[in-house]
Chains A and B, each alone.
Chain A
Amino acid sequence: MAIKKFAVAAYDDEAVLFPAVKKVRKSGYKLHDVYTPFAVHGLDVEMGLKETDLHIAGFIYGICGTSTAVGFISWIFTSDWPIVYGGKPHFALPAWVPITFELTVLFAAVGMTLTFCYLNQVMPGVKKHVFHPRQSDDLFVMAIELNEHTPEAEVIKFLKSTGAKETSVQTAEEGWWYGRWDKPEAYEALNAG
């Protein structure tokens, strides 16, 4: 993680945001991220993001749940402590369907949610830089990473030309850190720690 300089543009309409994202990608500036108050469909495609593989992880967790249930119950009832219940055979697979199903769902759901939290780096106590306090309210906020080849003034001028309502230049930690949301951070201190 590192502290970097960003040019930030806030848009108030998806219809302006989409062409702006397209122009930024064409211009060659480094698009850091776009923050939106809700899921804007097609934005990930426009930004050139890959489709997520989260559902594949979910499938794998589900299979783990299935095999845990079947393996565990059949070991118990056929080898560890076989008991005859109501004349059923020891290996009573149809009677195990409900628990097997429930564990499949449980493993898939819990595993997927934890993976989701890990990938998105969200957890209680996690803090991230908020580029605009209204990015969760009614603004679509785009952050562009600046470097020595991209002068601030030029990028800001470019962003304004794409229809941004507000622009700013900010220094911020690009990743996450542990912190309290009611306490502002000194970014230099973050780096030193």
Chain B
Amino acid sequence: MHIKYESFVREPLVDGNKDYHQVSEDIISPIERKPGRMWYIGFFFSIILLCFGIFSVSWSVYWGLGTWGVNRTIGWGWDITNFVWWIGIGHAGTLISAILLLFRQGWRTGVNRAAEAMTIFAVMCAGQFPIWHMGRVWDGFWVLPLPNTRGPLWPNFDSPLLWDVFAISTYFTVSLLFWYSGLMPDFALIRDRAKTKLRKRLYGLASFGWTGTAKGWQRMEALALVLAGLSTPLVLSVHTIVSFDFATSVIPGWHTTIFPPYFVAGAVFSGFAMVNTLLVITRKILKLEAYITIGHLEAMNKIIVLTGSIVGVAYLTELFMSWYSQAWGEMEAFKWRIVGPYWWSYWAMMTCNVVSPQLFWIKKLRRNIPFTFVMSIVVNIGMWFERFVIIATSTYRDWIPGSWSYYSPEWPEVGFYLGTFGLFFTLYFLFAKYFPVVAVHEIKFVLKTSGDNYKRGMQPIEEKSAEEFIHEQEHHHAEEHAEMAHH
């Protein structure tokens, strides 16, 4: 065995004095206990919101989309704003689980399970909006490539709206597979610990009969690596394609080539903010501070300041390009964004997304938990306004001044949005109660290199001189080679 060593410069990923059993105990025991009062209150409110959402959607379907505030010029309104917002939030989960896996970032192990759950729930929320925006939702299957006799015999494969159907359904499926394959060993752990018959039966089913054989783990790692490799371009493609919904049109303010990278950066930005919102609360209530450390939150805040800056550069580039193009329509569209009737949404976006995240350059603030929480909300508000700005302020004044209008939502649109919060948090509360919120087997995997107590155990090795250390290691290797030759 080689020694497991990681530099002291990196802070521990698991705090406190933990061994393998303690890790299982800390993460699994909340599942085996009755949930606290906070959980019941939160769950109850989520269900209420969800019910209100179902009512609002039923109202919209029964009376038609005329109950919404959308009109001739602004056809997308809150609905598609919310769609892009939710789908963007989902991106952080895949970034953490896939891209950080490829980059071998150990800190992903503490947050990937909850972030992936967030991705799946956010995509479920996002998917509602285009579906109910169809109005005649019973014809929703028309987007599927089925042969039929209703006019153009097939859907239009050249259209970004159809690309979206494929992108989002693939994204949802692959994220679910990635998430669930990692959950199997943790379900097996709950199953093997279970004291009650019902728990043993249900987690036995959920674990798919996983027992942790050496070959099984080898295949699991191969699967995770390939799924990560597939998910990485996939997640970038999803928001790229969402941005194509806008960018391939000829509407001033939408018709820009910068949209794909700008949307992807914005998605990651808002997604990490949502991960912070959820985890600051989750780690506190489930007492997982040792696994989701301040170091984890700081790492995510660093990504927030990076992507926030990219988004800021994109906003300025848009402004520059509209001036540089000297196209009258483009210049007017951006002028009205800034000083037109919707000036407040533009400036809300600028303040929340560009100015305030810059505070994260200060290390003290990055490691301050209440500040992180407040910022995570601010960023999500800002990113909602970004999508609103793109959708509303590009369309409310179109090519015919006679049809210029203003738009504010009606209650079913607001209720629909609140309803998706209900859906999201209902699912998240169930997840937090019945699922291991931190990937137990992945924490165990990094425990001996990155656990606090194990790192402290490396102190004597750290104090050795380089020559001494190299000598010992060479000796160790020579022994091993000799033994291999012997075989």
CA distance A81 to B209 in the complex (A): 48
A residues in contact with B305, CB < 8 Å: none
- Residue pair A54, B211 in contact (C-beta under 8 Å): no
Q: Does A72 contact B (CB under 8 A)?
A: yes
Instruction: Give the distance to chain A from B438, nearest Cβ to Cβ, in Å.
Output: 13
Q: Which residues of B in the span 189-209 have a Cβ within 8 Å of any Cβ on A? A: 189, 191-193, 197-198, 200-201, 203-209
B residues in contact with A110, CB < 8 Å: 173, 177
Comparing B115-123, B220-228, B379-387, B419-427, the segment that makes contact with chain A is B220-228
CA distance A72 to B144 in the complex (A): 13
B residues in contact with A14, CB < 8 Å: 1, 448
- Residue pair A92, B158 in contact (C-beta under 8 Å): yes
- Residue pair A113, B21 in contact (C-beta under 8 Å): no
CA distance A103 to B198 in the complex (A): 39
Q: Which residues of A in the span 160-182 have a Cβ within 8 Å of any Cβ on B? A: 176, 180-182
Q: Which residues of B in the span 11-40 have a Cβ within 8 Å of any Cβ on A? A: 19-21, 24
- Residue pair B156, A85 in contact (C-beta under 8 Å): yes
Comparing B42-50, B229-237, B353-361, the segment that makes contact with chain A is B229-237
- Residue pair A98, B227 in contact (C-beta under 8 Å): no
Contact of A124 among B174, B206, B217, B220 (CB under 8 A): B206
Q: Does A128 contact B (CB under 8 A)?
A: yes
- Residue pair A137, B205 in contact (C-beta under 8 Å): no
B residues in contact with A112, CB < 8 Å: 223, 226-227
Total B residues in contact with A, Cβ cutoff 8 Å: 72
**Prevailing SS type, chain A contact patch:** mixed
Q: Does B153 contact A (CB under 8 A)?
A: yes
Instruction: Give the distance to chain A from B161, nearest Cβ to Cβ, in Å.
Output: 11
B residues in contact with A38, CB < 8 Å: 185, 212, 217, 441-442, 444-445
Instruction: Give the distance to chain A from B337, nearest Cβ to Cβ, in Å.
Output: 27
Q: Does B241 contact A (CB under 8 A)?
A: yes
A residues in contact with B213, CB < 8 Å: 33-35, 120
CA distance A48 to B19 in the complex (A): 28
- Residue pair A120, B216 in contact (C-beta under 8 Å): yes
Instruction: Give the distance to chain B from A31, nearest Cβ to Cβ, in Å.
Output: 10
Interface centre among B209, B218, B221, B237 (most CB of A within 10 A): B209
B residues in contact with A129, CB < 8 Å: 211
A residues in contact with B442, CB < 8 Å: 38
- Residue pair B201, A73 in contact (C-beta under 8 Å): no
Interface centre among B197, B212, B214 (most CB of A within 10 A): B214
CA distance A93 to B249 in the complex (A): 19
- Residue pair A122, B206 in contact (C-beta under 8 Å): no
- Residue pair A122, B219 in contact (C-beta under 8 Å): no
Q: Does B411 contact A (CB under 8 A)?
A: no
- Residue pair B158, A95 in contact (C-beta under 8 Å): yes
Mask, A111-137, CB within 8 Å of B = 1, is 011001101111111111110011111
B residues in contact with A126, CB < 8 Å: 208-209
Instruction: Give the distance to chain A from B97, nearest Cβ to Cβ, in Å.
Output: 13
Question: Do A49 and B198 contact each other (CB < 8 Å), given the known contacts A38-B441, A182-B204?
Answer: no
Comparing A1-9, A39-47, A149-157, A185-193, the segment that makes contact with chain B is A39-47
CA distance A86 to B250 in the complex (A): 12
B residues in contact with A133, CB < 8 Å: 192-193
Contact of B162 among A80, A99, A135 (CB under 8 A): A99
B residues in contact with A134, CB < 8 Å: 21, 192
Contact of A18 among B1, B178, B191, B220 (CB under 8 A): B1
Q: Nearest 8 A-B pairs (CB), nearest first?
A: A181-B204, A126-B209, A138-B20, A122-B208, A38-B441, A98-B163, A182-B201, A138-B21
9 A–B contacts, CB within 8 A, in A order: A18-B1, A36-B217, A52-B222, A81-B152, A98-B167, A105-B230, A123-B208, A123-B209, A181-B204
A residues with a Cβ closer than 8 A to B are 14-15, 18, 33-40, 43-44, 47, 49, 51-52, 54-55, 58, 62, 72-73, 76-77, 80-81, 83, 85-86, 88, 92, 95-96, 98-99, 101-103, 105-106, 108-110, 112-113, 116-117, 119-130, 133-138, 176, 180-182
Assuming A99-B157, A106-B170, what are 17 further A-B pairs, CB within 8 angstroms? A15-B1, A34-B214, A37-B189, A38-B441, A39-B218, A52-B219, A55-B226, A73-B157, A76-B157, A80-B154, A98-B163, A124-B206, A130-B211, A136-B185, A136-B188, A182-B201, A182-B204
